[in-house]
């Protein structure tokens, strides 16, 4: 990697931008890291340059790219934070300081590991750009895992799958999530990785050929309907994502319809719906497989139209979105740090505070929980497990861990709703409080104001720690009241 390639990427997106400070950062890092080598044998400078290149690809603002170049300087060299602050200002110094404070997250020693995770969430709450640098740093580290001992390879790859990739997912940064997962996959599950690659190879080739035929047909149809500025291409499913889906589909690859999904990129939202109508006029849609994530975005901000159709006795999935939605789908919340030219000034896109609410919840979890193993269990269950999203009767989106039941939903809304729940309507039909929910379900909790006694069996089915803790508290309280009642009646 060279500084020239980084400058080229930035210039391609912002031709008028002044890159003087980026060049200066390179000169400082080159001098500071002079003579240093990594375990892979390459010059140490390659690591911060690869980190900065990934940030430039994401179209992140210049202070973050500069911090990416300098992020290891205070920790690995004699160059001080005071010197960075003097040369590059408070903003860059704060970002570099955030990475330095974060230190290395070790996947050994639960107490130390939990404390380091808390540090990361504090850093995220103070300036989310710190975690963008950490992601870019982690991706290059994963690419050079081959140079490390097997035990260290396992540790770094495992924490990537269990912590880093899920955080990227929560931030809507699908491109980084997929890249981290695919790089870590062969180290954590080598046999499963080989099996997935082998079983999918033939299927990929067949479906790519089918996709090319469909692309020609749809492209011609869109041109006939006066679409001019659009793009259509096939996107192969990432290996780790495919493996996770195979686990849910009894390892039957024939049931994976988006092995090669066709993506159509247009200019405006109304064009997305027009394209959907054209596809459905040509191909029969599969029942229950049309999903409107534009009208109802996923909790991480993902927007797109999805439809699975029958085409010439083949099953094909389409994803339809605008260019803006495409950028957000790849880089998620990081797109808000892409600086836009406006009236000669560079302005940041504002972020909805609701999108970062879960970061504050993570910090709260850390404050409330003292045992590191319990803290880590909570993180993996409530925040880093695969997510589903369901709706309230008013159409509000509720984000829950996969496998959640109406009881989890009820306690998420309010403790009172959970304690007084007697039943649930799922998509307008009566269901039980222990029915597993699916993404897109609309849930209505039936309550009895006179009854406030959670069932002990609820603990067996509830998925979230919040619901389990509230149920335990209520059962303990009820046991105490029963004891008092027995005392006064004896």
Question: Does residue 381 fall inside a structural domain?
Answer: no
Domain CATH for 337 = 3.30.460.10
267-319 pLDDT tens trace: 999 999 999 999 999 989 988 889 999 988 887 778 999 999 998 888 889 99
End residue of a domain, out of 121, 154, 186: 186
Question: Does residue 82 fall inside a structural domain?
Answer: yes
Residues 168, 216: one domain?
A: no
Which of 27-31, 162-166, 245-249, 417-421 has the highest average model confidence (pLDDT)? 27-31
Hey, how many other C-beta atoms are within 10 angstroms of the C-beta on 151? 9
End residue of a domain, out of 136, 151, 186: 186
Residues 236, 324: one domain?
A: yes
The pLDDT, as a whole number, for residue 357 is 65
Question: Does residue 375 fall inside a structural domain?
Answer: no
With cut-offs at 50, 70 and 90, classify the pLDDT of residue 466: confident
| Residues 316 and 262: beta-carbon distance below 8 Å | yes
The pLDDT, as a whole number, for residue 484 is 40
The pLDDT, as a whole number, for residue 488 is 39
pTM given for the model: 0.74
Number of domains in the chain: 3
Question: Does residue 47 fall inside a structural domain?
Answer: yes
Residues 210, 181: one domain?
A: no
The pLDDT, as a whole number, for residue 487 is 37
- The C-alpha angle 388, 393, 396, rounded to 5 degrees, equals 55
Looking at the predicted structure, is the pLDDT value of residue 67 above 60? yes
Whose tokens are 């006029």? That residue is 281
End residue of a domain, out of 128, 154, 186: 186
Residues 409, 327: one domain?
A: no
Question: Does residue 443 fall inside a structural domain?
Answer: yes
Question: Does residue 125 fall inside a structural domain?
Answer: yes
The pLDDT, as a whole number, for residue 352 is 57
Residue 134's φ and ψ, nearest 5 degrees, are -65, -40
Lowest mean pLDDT: which of 123-127, 134-138, 349-353, 412-416? Answer: 349-353
> Mean pLDDT in the chain?
83
Residues 54, 198: one domain?
A: no
- Enclosing H/E stretch for 5: helix 3-13
Domain CATH for 408 = 3.10.20.30
Buried (b) or exposed (e) across 73-105, using 16+ Cβ within 10 A? bbeebebebeebbebbeebbbbbbbbbbebeeb
Residues 178, 312: one domain?
A: no
The pLDDT, as a whole number, for residue 33 is 93
The percent of residues in the chain predicted with pLDDT above 90, rounded, is 39
CA 423 vs. chain centroid, Å, equals 32
Helices 174-188 and 239-248 pack at an angle, to 10 degrees, of 80
Instruction: Domain of residue 250: give its range.
Output: 191-347
Give the C-alpha separation, 126 to 342, whole Å.
Answer: 26
Residues 182, 195: one domain?
A: no
Domain CATH for 109 = 1.10.3210.10
Indicate the pairing of strand 421-426 with strand 443-447. antiparallel
Beta strands in 267-377 (DSSP E): 284-285, 291-292, 305-311, 314-322, 340-342, 345-347
CA 212 vs. chain centroid, Å, equals 30
Contacts of 430 (CB under 8 A, 6+ apart): 423, 424
Structure tokens at 488: 């006064």
Structure tokens at 144: 């050079």
Residues 420, 297: one domain?
A: no
Residues 13, 119: one domain?
A: yes
Give the C-alpha separation, 34 to 79, whole Å.
Answer: 12
Residue 19's φ and ψ, nearest 5 degrees, are -105, 15
The pLDDT, as a whole number, for residue 489 is 47
Question: Does residue 361 fall inside a structural domain?
Answer: no
Question: Does residue 148 fall inside a structural domain?
Answer: yes
Residues 154, 61: one domain?
A: yes
The pLDDT, as a whole number, for residue 292 is 92
Contacts of residues 274-280 at CB distance under 8 Å and 24 or more positions apart, as own/partner, are: 274/225, 275/222, 275/227, 275/230, 275/305, 275/320, 276/305, 276/307, 276/318, 276/320, 278/218, 278/221, 278/222, 278/225, 279/218, 279/307, 279/309, 279/318, 279/320, 280/307, 280/309
| Residues 169 and 222: beta-carbon distance below 8 Å | no
Residues 166, 180: one domain?
A: yes
The pLDDT, as a whole number, for residue 201 is 83
Residues 143, 207: one domain?
A: no
């Amino acid at each position: 990697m060279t500084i020239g390639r980084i400058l080229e990427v930035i210039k391609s997106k912002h031709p008028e931008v002044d890159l003087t400070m980026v060049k200066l950062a390179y000169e400082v890092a080159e001098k500071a890291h002079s003579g240093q080598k990594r375990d892979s044998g390459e010059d140490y400078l390659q690591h911060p340059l690869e980190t900065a290149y990934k940030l430039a690809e994401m179209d992140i603002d210049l202070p973050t790219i500069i911090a990416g170049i300098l992020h290891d300087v205070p920790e690995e060299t004699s160059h001080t934070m005071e010197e960075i602050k003097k040369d590059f200002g408070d903003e860059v110094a704060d970002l570099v300081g955030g990475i330095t404070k974060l230190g290395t997250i070790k996947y050994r020693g639960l107490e130390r590991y939990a404390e380091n995770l808390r540090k990361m969430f504090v850093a995220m709450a103070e300036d989310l750009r710190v975690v963008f640098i950490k992601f870019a740093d982690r991706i290059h580290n994963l690419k050079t895992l081959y140079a490390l001992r097997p035990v260290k390879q396992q540790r770094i790859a495992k924490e990537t799958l269990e912590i880093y990739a899920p955080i990227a997912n929560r931030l809507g940064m699908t491109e980084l999530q997929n890249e981290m997962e695919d790089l870590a996959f062969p180290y954590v599950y080598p046999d499963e990785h080989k099996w997935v690659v082998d079983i999918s190879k033939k299927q990929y080739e067949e479906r790519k050929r089918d996709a090319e035929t469909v692309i020609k047909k749809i492209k011609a149809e869109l041109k006939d309907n006066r679409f001019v500025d659009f793009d259509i291409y096939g996107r192969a499913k990432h290996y780790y994502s495919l493996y996770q889906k195979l686990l849910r589909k009894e390892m039957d690859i024939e049931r994976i319809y988006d092995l090669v999904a066709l993506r159509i990129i247009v200019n405006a939202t109304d064009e997305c719906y027009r394209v959907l109508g054209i596809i459905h006029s040509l191909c029969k849609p599969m029942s229950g497989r049309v999903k409107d994530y534009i009208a109802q975005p996923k909790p991480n901000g993902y927007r797109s139209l999805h439809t699975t159709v029958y085409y010439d006795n083949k099953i094909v999935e389409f994803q339809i979105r605008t260019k803006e939605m495409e950028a957000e789908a790849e880089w998620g919340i990081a797109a808000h740090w892409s600086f836009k030219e406006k009236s000669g000034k560079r302005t940041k896109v504002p972020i909805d505070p609701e999108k970062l609410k879960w970061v504050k919840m993570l910090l709260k979890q850390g404050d409330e929980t003292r045992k590191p193993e319990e803290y880590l269990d909570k993180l993996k269950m409530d925040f880093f497990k695969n997510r589903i999203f369901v709706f309230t009767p008013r159409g509000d989106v509720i984000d829950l861990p996969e496998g959640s039941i109406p009881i989890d939903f009820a306690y998420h809304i309010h403790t009172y709703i959970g304690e007084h729940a007697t039943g649930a309507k799922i998509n307008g039909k009566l269901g039980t409080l222990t029915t597993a929910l699916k993404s897109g379900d609309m849930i209505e909790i039936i309550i009895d104001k006179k009854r406030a006694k959670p069932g002990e069996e609820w603990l067996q089915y509830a998925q979230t720690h919040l619901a389990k803790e509230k149920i335990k508290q209520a059962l303990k309280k009820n046991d105490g009241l029963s004891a008092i009642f027995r005392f006064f009646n004896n």
